[in-house]
Amino acid sequence: MSDEEVNLSATSNAARSSELKEDAAKKNCNNAQTNSDQDDLNDSEENGQQQQNNDELASSSEDSDEAEKEENDYEEQLSMSQTETLLHYQQISGLELPQCRRQLEEVDWDLMQATDRLFGGSVGNLQQQRQQQQQHNSSSSNSSSAGASSIVYQRRSVAPAPAPPPLLASDSRARLVTAAGPGSGQHRPQQAPVGWFRWIESIVMLPFRFFSHSVGSLLRFVLSILRPAAVAAAPRRPVVDPVGDVRQFLEQFEQLYGEQHPVVRVCSYSQALDAARNELRFLLVYLHAESHQDTDQFCRQVLVSEVFSAFLQASGINFWMCSISSPEGARVSQALRETGYPFLALIVLKQSRMTVVARFEGLLSLEQLLAELDAAVTDFEPYLAEERARRQSLEMNRRLIEEQDQAYAAALAQDREREERRQAEEAERSAERDANERRREERQRELARLRDLLPAEPSADEDGGATVKLSVRLPGASDRLERRFRLGEPIQHLHYFIKLQELAPERFSVCTSFPKRVLPVEGTFKEAGLTQAEVLFVMDDDDE
């Protein structure tokens, strides 16, 4: 609110006080006139009437002084901009000043957000607010008027209404930088009226100034509030190729202003947000309005400046721009809900959400824009640092878990390999035991069969002495085996006898000592020439 409006408000209060005092003075004059005309009344009645008039005058003066003090104390708590916002919101909502102030303080004096909350719900919500206000007024009507100036309202941050996709959060500390100039809402400070002539002039002009300023401000805010709804209701061209829209605008921009500009992310707006999120960098969005009168000057003085490009690169800021005449630019314009051009928005990852932390509207100089950008980066860089630390911690934990998993997997693989080797060895031993057991059983059966096939050893004088005594030396044995055989027995019985020995090879041959010859397996002893006592040697065929 400007100083002029503050002075006007003070003037209004003073005027109200003056009117009350003039009314009291008129009453006093009328009472005096009445006293002079009625001389026939007795002194007691005249004195009583005079006392009553004086009481009324004192009461009126006290009421006017208390009202003036209360209103002055109530306004002294607010700044000029807050008072202006309070008056505008009262005109829009139709609520009482305490109710309006409470609702504005809940949204940190954001008029647009408070209006969105007021009209964003159903009609029943608005009626409920009015009923609550009436109940509040009726309950506080008997209380002291001075208590209203001693209430302390607690501010709290209220999340704004969600914008069209992609969704962005709006930080309560977000900077809103607008260019100073005509219609920008900034006014020159004026001195308070001095003298009776200035007071009378201010009182006379007060309704006209208040009406013109209120209507103008109301229209501006209503248009700014209704603009997103109108944009949302208007049919928009579907976004078919967002990357193509950005590339086409970049080509047109370079044709008009040259190739000297910040590095532009040639991608869709959603991809630019994802890149800034993943890279933990700021994202500066520029929406280009070709028809705006300040666009060309802003592009030539700011965007193509080497200082601007160097600042973005040094500050770690990604840059994305598009024209609002393209489908992609119109979609982004609806999401960011800008109200002035040239428009820039600084976005950063804050508490796991991409948040608009600064908005720049209007024709700003390069120095002012860089100063505001640097201040915003300084304010919100700690959130990126916090996120980097969080990601590094997560990465360290992930690597530690991965290393632990790898070590556990390696140990598990070693245990599995060791167990498999043990099981293989155990299976091999078991198979060998089974094989040995089978061989033993087969040998036992074979020995039993050979015992059955080998006849009993004959005596020396049996069959008239037709027997032969043979000595057999087994491989590795120190002692010789001796047995008598009948000359007519097949020589195979000699092999049966040798096989029945424990040290007998599995495959063997029998040969004589001198002359050395291998005895045949077929035929009898007599046919093999073994008619006299002789020493035979068993040869292991597997050793050859």
pLDDT of residue 488: 87
Q: How confident is the model at residue 4 (pLDDT cuts 50, 70, 90)?
A: very low
At 170, list the tokens. Answer: 């709006």
ω into residue 342 within 30 of 0, thus cis? yes
The pLDDT tens digits for 138-169 are 444 444 333 333 222 222 233 333 344 444 65
Backbone phi and psi for residue 409, each to the nearest 5 degrees, phi listed first: -65, -40
Higher pLDDT pick, 530 / 392: 392
Q: Is residue 525 within 8 Å of 493, Cβ to Cβ?
A: no
* Residue 275: Cβ-neighbour burial (10 angstroms; 0-12, 13-18, 19+): middle
Domain with CATH 3.10.20.90 in the chain: 462-543
CB < 8 Å & 24+ apart, contacts of 418-422: none
Higher pLDDT pick, 410 / 222: 410
Q: Is residue 349 within 8 Å of 254, Cβ to Cβ?
A: no
Chain centroid, CA 188 distance in Å: 45
The pLDDT tens digits for 60-114 are 444 545 544 444 454 456 777 788 788 777 767 767 788 888 888 888 888 777 8
Q: Is pTM beyond 0.75 here?
A: no
Query: What fold, for 462-543?
Result: Ubiquitin-like (UB roll) (3.10.20)
Domain with CATH 3.40.30.10 in the chain: 242-395
pLDDT of 5 > 50? The answer is no
d(CA 119, CA 112): 11
Q: Which CATH number fits domain 242-395: 3.40.30.10, 3.90.650.10, 3.40.50.300, 1.25.40.10?
A: 3.40.30.10
The pLDDT tens digits for 162-198 are 344 444 655 555 666 766 543 333 333 333 444 555 5
pLDDT of residue 517: 86
Q: Is residue 538 within 8 Å of 505, Cβ to Cβ?
A: yes
pLDDT of 232 > 70? The answer is no
pLDDT of residue 173: 56
The pLDDT tens digits for 484-508 are 888 888 988 888 888 888 888 888 8
